[in-house]
Structure formats: structure tokens, C-alpha cells
Structure 1
Amino acid sequence: MNLSNQSSSNSTVQSADMFTEHILNFKQAAEFLSISLSALYKITHKKAITFYKPNGKLIYFKKSDLIKWMLSNEQKSQAEYAEDYLNTLKTKRNG
């Protein structure tokens, strides 16, 4: 194998590694979310989270989709609610 073929092979392996670290199987996703397999099954059954079934059986997740789901339904702090309220009052006065 010459140097250019080896370099090409290394970059292919690196891109495959990058891909696989962003794709999780069902068990890995449950561990990443710190929930039980049963809880993750219920979430996927309700289609509350994005998942992929390329062969019709096994379920896979993109790590970015899991993070997006974890950060959904934000609960604001009291300070943030107060700030929003004050901004609303300022807008009404100026409007």
C-alpha cells in the first residue's frame, strides 16, 4: 500500500469513527439519556423523539436529536419570568 492509499484509508476510517460516535443504538441512547430501556421504548412508541429504523427492526438515534429532545420543554427560572414580565410591561408602555 503506498502512502496516498494509506492516507485515504485513514481518512475513511476517521470519518466512519466520527459517524459512529454520533449514531447510537437503542441501548446506547438509553444510557446516554440515563433512562431505562422501557422508558425509551415508551418515548419512541409515542413518537416523542426522532429515531431511525433503516432495516425496519433495529432503532438508531442521532446524538444531536437526543440532545435536542433533552433540551426541549424548557422550564424558566423565576428570574427569567420576572425579566419577561418587565419586558412585556416596557413594550406596552412604549407601544
Structure 2
Amino acid sequence: MNTIKLDERLARIESLLLAQKKVLTTEEACDYTGMSRSYLYKLTSTGAIPHCKPTGKLIYFDIDLLNEWLLNNQQDSHFQVEDKNRITTSNKR
């Protein structure tokens, strides 16, 4: 098997395993979200992202809270906007 394909398959397996964990380390959270370590640290230092520091040093992320935070401020598709407009218009009649 091609080395590149093997690396791709391994990366997919690792991402599936990450999704099964309840708590992520900073490095795992970077891999999971695709964010750089420095940006993730910036978000934690400003309190913009939910995290835990049980020992006061190491940072951990609850994957459910991380997913909720990632899906914050969801943008509606054009179809969803049209549906909302149609419903609003029909309710005014």
C-alpha cells in the first residue's frame, strides 16, 4: 500500500478515536478543531472557549462543550433564510 494512503488512513483512524474521548488535551483539541496551539491558548486566556485547568497548569477540554462552542453562531443557508422569510410573510397575512 502506498505510504501516503496509509498515512491518510491512519489520520482518519486517529480522528475517529479522538471523537470517542470525553476529555481532550490541548494538543488533541488542536488536532480536533484544526486550530493552532497559539490561537487555542489565546482563546483560553481570554475565556472565550470553555476549558478546565484542574492542576492550575495543564488545560483540558470537554469534547461536548467544545463541540457546542464550535457550532455557536451557526449561519443559516440561503434555503433556511428563504424558509424563515416565507413563514414570517405568511404569518403576517
TM-score (normalizing by structure 2): 0.74
2:38 is the counterpart of 1:22: no
Q: Structure 1: 5+ residue runs without aligned partners?
A: 1-19
Q: Which whole-Å CA distance do the structure 2 matches of 1:92 and 1:42 have between them?
A: 46
Larger Rg: 1
Secondary structure, counterpart of 2:91 in structure 1: helix
Q: Which amino acid aligns with 1:61?
A: F
TM-score (normalizing by structure 1): 0.72
How many equivalent pairs are there?
A: 74
Match runs of 1:53-72 below 5 Å? 53-72=53-72
- Tell me how far 1:46 sits from its aligned partner: 2.0
2:37 is the counterpart of 1:37: yes
Q: Which whole-Å CA distance do the structure 1 matches of 2:23 and 2:77 have between them?
A: 33
1:63-90 CA distances to partner (integer Å, 9 max, x unpaired)? 1111111111101111111110111111
**2:88 alignment counterpart:** 88
Q: Which whole-Å CA distance do the structure 1 matches of 2:30 and 2:45 have between them?
A: 14
Q: Which amino acid aligns with 1:85?
A: N
Q: Structure 2: 5+ residue runs without aligned partners?
A: 1-19
Q: Which whole-Å CA distance do the structure 2 matches of 1:65 and 1:83 have between them?
A: 29
Secondary structure, counterpart of 2:64 in structure 1: helix
1:19-41 CA distances to partner (integer Å, 9 max, x unpaired)? x9211111111111011101111
Q: Which whole-Å CA distance do the structure 2 matches of 1:42 and 1:82 have between them?
A: 37
Q: Which whole-Å CA distance do the structure 2 matches of 1:35 and 1:28 have between them?
A: 10
